[in-house]
Structure 1
Amino acid sequence: MSASIQKYDVIVIGAGAAGLMCASVAGQRGRHVALLDHGGLPGRKILISGGGRCNFTNIHCEPNRFLSGNPHFAKSALALYTASHFLELVHKYNIPYHEKTLGQLFCDHSAHAILNLLLAECERGKVEHVPDAHSIRVEKNSSGFRIASARGEFQCESLVIATGGLSIPKLGATGFGYELAQQFGMSVVAPRPALVPVLLGGVEAEWTQLAGVSTLVRVSTPSAKTTFVEKLLVTHRGLSGPAILQISSYWQPGQPIHVDLAPEQSILTPLFGTRRDGAILRQALREHLPQRLAEHLANVAAPAGWSNAAIEAGERALHHWPFNPVGTEGFAKAEVTTGGIDTRHLQAKTMEARDIPGLFFIGEVVDVTGHLGGFNFQWAWSSAVAAGRAV
């Protein structure tokens, strides 16, 4: 081996949330750790998350809030390192935070507080950060792994891949983690954009004239066993808002998204009176929905005639309105990537590859995707700690 090769106990590739956390845990265990990243700055995705305030976890973090080919896989890591554990770190660094809604915890001020916490924890572990380490190539050898990069050559006993998914390529997202897994004979569940706005086309494109309208809805899609009650937002290109972002992770091309426009409410009851006409319809819709949305529905969803049966059918339609997206905004606007390293190749308690000792995969690169609201950060922390204690 060349004397120029830099030797470490552990090398973590990817300086995002999971990579920083794992490096800090391993370093504080006394392991000699290097953190390689193809970019110049760590934690770029952390800084833009949560509107710049970082929705760093969720107090209702249960395994059923995650999508995976194996819905049980995430249980071990999530039990090992919970939201309460990460909150202990937040309190240790005196970071003020608040619950926004539905258990979502945000920094009061800036996401920089979470990044600074992680950097401080890495410093405690004497982690060596190696930025701009692009053009990475990995080989397995008798001593572990040999890594060649633009910043030189490295050797390690344990290698952790924390390179994330394909979402937000402008921040440097690549398919490196998937390619490396395949290099070692591991399969990858096809990556798809998740937590992403959807696009409307054809006749449904008329809805985009309501851009800016937001309302509370319940959404569902045939491939999801769950529904979400949150806000929907009409955009210039289609639909967004928390409800749509949530259901987008489950939505499959060709499927409809069904929207209950007024959950738990009866909208058209006034039409069962003696007067049944468009004016009463508009008034009934305005009592429950934003005015622009009410006007649109008055034009496109008026009962076919004013019989009791027609009104009842109109009521049902408003609670099961189908949209047929022509696609999504893609990885450029997706908050996360669903799919990834097939969990059948990994040990749930340590995140180590079953057939390649010393090789670990953590965070978004794995086929575990959380709901909107801090769950993906918690998966980053939990999977990182599982690996960091095992390397």
Structure 2
Amino acid sequence: MAIQIFDTVILGAGAAGMMCAIHAASRGGRVLVVDHARAPGEKIRISGGGRCNFTNTGTSARNFLSNNPHFAKSALGRYTPQDFVALVEKHGIAYHEKTLGQLFCDHSAKDIIAMLTGEMARAGCELRLSTTLESLARIDDGFAVMLGGEGAANIRCRYVVVASGGKSIPKMGASGIGYQIAGQFGLAVTETRPALVPLTFGEDVLASFRELAGIAAEARVSCGKASFDEALLFTHRGLSGPAILQISSYWRETQPVRVALLPGRDLFAALRASRQENGRRSLPNALGEILPKRLAAFLAESHGWTGPIGDAGDKRLAAIAATIHGFDVHPIGSEGYRTAEVTLGGVDTDGLNSKTMAARAVDGLYFIGEVVDVTGWLGGYNFQWAWSSGWAAGTAIAERGG
């Protein structure tokens, strides 16, 4: 097999890999992007209900988990959400802000994929799909890369960028290959776990939750020092919704999760007003005016909140309000990588340059995106990390003449 020559080979045609390719090729570098999937940007395609929550206008390093909380600052500060929005607007992609700074495509996530592949094509990048990495080795002047599948080739290149993502959503082909490459070249990998994932419970608790499946409520969900005010959703398998997905990144086995329903509401005042309005109304019915009716009935039955509200004094109403505003649940696990939106942990940032994403000990080797130990909150933050880290590595490669 004849040897093919490229300046840069990027392993992964996801958000970070495509962004990196665009910038690595910006000064004429010969760039090859490979992916085992049959189409580029598969996680982009399914994200945000098919509309891609492509960034968050409020992004900062505090929205990320990492063993080094400062590592992400450089890339995020030099390629910002406003920079990516400018690219989206340049391509005429209509978008809207949903809530909390989250930006979504009006039409389809496929618009973002088309934008990225179009930019890659204009920059002269080559994309090979249904292609696997067979081997990667360091040689004197760069790397030897053996590819299999439809894009099989024997390649020599100066730079290799690992943009292979994490372990989340294995049915789409996710694997730990990026961590294996890190290990091969002596880079440490931190503990990896499913993140932004629904939490599961024992059968005794699930029996109750199944009665509430489909009910959503505003909640403040806390674990340790972390706390999020967003929607909570009861499911047949446990608890989900944005608040639970957020806290899942912080939760560890044996830890309780504290739930405060309607955190912005003065429930004691609402119950007193209900008592004054109609003292003959039952406590469950009074609660049903404040909470979803099935949830109110469940809580009333669980705690023995019976009788007319008119018979309940201030002390009892205050106790009911306090319970609704803070009770513990005890997850036994999560739904795992099958439904996790991202992987927590990854290639240890101690071994990487925060400005270029280059491996400190291996010249020409870069790690970007989800494979790195930088994990964002729900709400467009992980995509912004992909854009920013991909830009940082691609720009650094272009400046080196790649």
Query: TM-score interval w.r.t. the shorter chain?
Result: over 0.9
In the TM superposition, what is the alpha-carbon distance from 1:190 to its structure 2 partner? Answer: 1.5
In the TM superposition, what is the alpha-carbon distance from 1:302 to its structure 2 partner? Answer: 3.5
Per the alignment, residue 286 of structure 1 pairs with 288
In the TM superposition, what is the alpha-carbon distance from 1:279 to its structure 2 partner? Answer: 5.2
Per the alignment, residue 324 of structure 1 pairs with 330
Q: 4+ residue stretches of structure 1 with deviation over 3 A?
A: 268-280, 302-314
Cα distance between partner residues in 1 of 2:179 and 2:315: 54
Is the Cα–Cα contact under 8 Å of residues 9 and 159 in structure 2 kept in the other structure?
yes
- Which amino acid letter does the alignment assign opposite residue 285 of structure 1? L
Per the alignment, residue 134 of structure 1 pairs with 132
Cα distance between partner residues in 2 of 1:278 and 1:367: 57
In the TM superposition, what is the alpha-carbon distance from 1:359 to its structure 2 partner? Answer: 0.5
Q: Identity rate of aligned residues, in percent? A: 50
Per the alignment, residue 162 of structure 1 pairs with 163
- Which amino acid letter does the alignment assign opposite residue 202 of structure 2? G
Per the alignment, residue 171 of structure 1 pairs with 172
- Which amino acid letter does the alignment assign opposite residue 56 of structure 2? N
Per the alignment, residue 76 of structure 2 pairs with 78
Cα distance between partner residues in 2 of 1:114 and 1:277: 56
Is the Cα–Cα contact under 8 Å of residues 302 and 314 in structure 1 kept in the other structure?
no
Is the Cα–Cα contact under 8 Å of residues 351 and 387 in structure 1 kept in the other structure?
yes
Cα distance between partner residues in 2 of 1:257 and 1:281: 27
Gap regions ≥5 residues in structure 1: none
Residues 302/129 of structure 1: CA separation in 2 closer, same or farther (3 Å cut) = same
Per the alignment, residue 194 of structure 1 pairs with 195
Residues 377/55 of structure 1: CA separation in 2 closer, same or farther (3 Å cut) = same
TM-score scaled by structure 2?
0.92
In the TM superposition, what is the alpha-carbon distance from 1:152 to its structure 2 partner? Answer: 1.6
- Which amino acid letter does the alignment assign opposite residue 115 of structure 1? I
Determine helix, strand or coil for the equivalent of 1:6: strand
In the TM superposition, what is the alpha-carbon distance from 1:228 to its structure 2 partner? Answer: 0.9
Residues 5/277 of structure 1: CA separation in 2 closer, same or farther (3 Å cut) = farther
Q: Relative to structure 2, which stretch is displaced further, 134-143 or 305-314?
A: 305-314
Equivalent residue in structure 1 for 2:385, among 376, 379, 389: 379
Determine helix, strand or coil for the equivalent of 2:336: coil
Cα distance between partner residues in 1 of 2:280 and 2:243: 30
Determine helix, strand or coil for the equivalent of 1:136: strand
Equivalent residue in structure 2 for 1:146, among 144, 148, 153: 144
- May I ask how many residue pairs the two structures share in their alignment? 387
Per the alignment, residue 354 of structure 2 pairs with 348
Gap regions ≥5 residues in structure 2: 398-402
Q: Relative to structure 2, which stretch is displaced further, 377-386 or 200-209?
A: 200-209
Is the aligned partner of 1:363 residue 2:369? Answer: yes
Residues 278/323 of structure 1: CA separation in 2 closer, same or farther (3 Å cut) = farther
Cα distance between partner residues in 2 of 1:313 and 1:332: 40
After TM superposition, the structure 1 = structure 2 runs for residues 204-353 of structure 1, keeping only pairs within 5 Å, are: 204-205=205-206, 206-222=208-224, 225-269=225-269, 270=271, 280-302=282-304, 309=315, 311-353=317-359
Residues 199/279 of structure 1: CA separation in 2 closer, same or farther (3 Å cut) = farther
Cα distance between partner residues in 1 of 2:280 and 2:230: 29
Determine helix, strand or coil for the equivalent of 1:28: coil
TM-score scaled by structure 1?
0.94
In the TM superposition, what is the alpha-carbon distance from 1:203 to its structure 2 partner? Answer: 2.7
Equivalent residue in structure 1 for 2:53, among 40, 55, 58: 55
In the TM superposition, what is the alpha-carbon distance from 1:304 to its structure 2 partner? Answer: 11
Cα distance between partner residues in 2 of 1:342 and 1:310: 52
Determine helix, strand or coil for the equivalent of 1:380: helix
Is the Cα–Cα contact under 8 Å of residues 278 and 302 in structure 1 kept in the other structure?
no
Cα distance between partner residues in 1 of 2:280 and 2:200: 30
Per the alignment, residue 181 of structure 1 pairs with 182
Per the alignment, residue 400 of structure 2 pairs with none
Is the Cα–Cα contact under 8 Å of residues 303 and 310 in structure 1 kept in the other structure?
no
Offset from partner CA, 1:29-77 (integer Å, 9 cap, x none): 2211111112221111111011011111111111111111111100000
Determine helix, strand or coil for the equivalent of 2:296: helix
Cα distance between partner residues in 2 of 1:275 and 1:128: 71
Residues 380/276 of structure 1: CA separation in 2 closer, same or farther (3 Å cut) = same
Aligned CA-pair RMSD: 2.1
Equivalent residue in structure 2 for 1:65, among 63, 66, 81: 63
In the TM superposition, what is the alpha-carbon distance from 1:143 to its structure 2 partner? Answer: 1.0
